[in-house]
Amino acid sequence: MFRETFDDKKRRARKILRILKKTYTEPGEFVHWTTPLELVVGTLLSAQCTDKRVNIVTKSLFKKYRTPKAYASASLDELEAAISSVTYFRSKARYIQGLGRMILRDFGGTVPSTLEDLVKLPGIGYKSAHLVMSKVHAQHTGIAVDTHVKRVAPRLGLTRQKDPGKIGADLEALYPRADFLSVNEYLIMHGRAICAPRNPKCNECPVRSLCPYGRVSRA
Ligand code: SF4
Query: What domains are there in the chain, each with its CATH number?
Result: 6-25+144-216 (1.10.1670.10), 36-137 (1.10.340.30)
Q: Please give the distance of CA 40 from its chain centroid, rounded to a whole number.
A: 12
Task: Give one DSSP letter per residue of 15-64, joined into a string.
Answer: HHHHHHHHH--SPP-----SSHHHHHHHHHHTTTS-HHHHHHHHHHHHHH
Q: How confident is the model at residue 218 (pLDDT cuts 50, 70, 90)?
A: confident
**pLDDT given for residue 78 in this prediction:** 98
**pLDDT given for residue 58 in this prediction:** 98
- Å from CA of 67 to ligand 1 middle: 42
Give tens-digit pLDDT for 130-181: 999 999 999 999 999 999 999 999 999 999 999 999 999 999 999 999 999 9
Q: Is the pLDDT of residue 1 over 90?
A: no
Atom of ligand 1 nearest to the CA of 206: 6
**pLDDT given for residue 2 in this prediction:** 57
Task: Give one DSSP letter per residue of 194-214, joined into a string.
Answer: TS-SSS--GGG-TTGGG-HHH
* Ligand 1-lining residues (CB < 6 angstroms): 155-156, 194-195, 200-202, 205, 207-208, 211, 213-214, 217
- Å from CA of 215 to ligand 1 middle: 8
Contact 180, 172 (CB under 8 A): yes
**pLDDT given for residue 135 in this prediction:** 97
Give tens-digit pLDDT for 51-87: 999 999 999 999 999 999 999 999 999 999 999 999 9
Q: Is the pLDDT of residue 219 over 80?
A: no
Atom of ligand 1 nearest to the CA of 201: 7
Query: How many CB atoms are located within 10 Å of the residue 135 CB?
Result: 16
Give tens-digit pLDDT for 22-43: 999 998 999 999 999 999 999 9
Q: Is the pLDDT of residue 126 over 70?
A: yes
Give tens-digit pLDDT for 109-125: 999 999 999 999 999 99
Atom of ligand 1 nearest to the CA of 214: 1
Q: How confident is the model at residue 215 (pLDDT cuts 50, 70, 90)?
A: confident
Atom of ligand 1 nearest to the CA of 217: 2
Decide: helix, strand or coil at residue 83.
coil
Whole-angstrom distance, CA of residue 147 vs CA of residue 46: 11
Whole-angstrom distance, CA of residue 131 vs CA of residue 119: 12
The mean pLDDT of 189-216, rounded to a whole number, is 96
**pLDDT given for residue 32 in this prediction:** 97
- Å from CA of 170 to ligand 1 middle: 19
Q: How many angstroms separate the Cα of 97 from the Cα of each of 23, 105, 112? A: 40, 12, 16
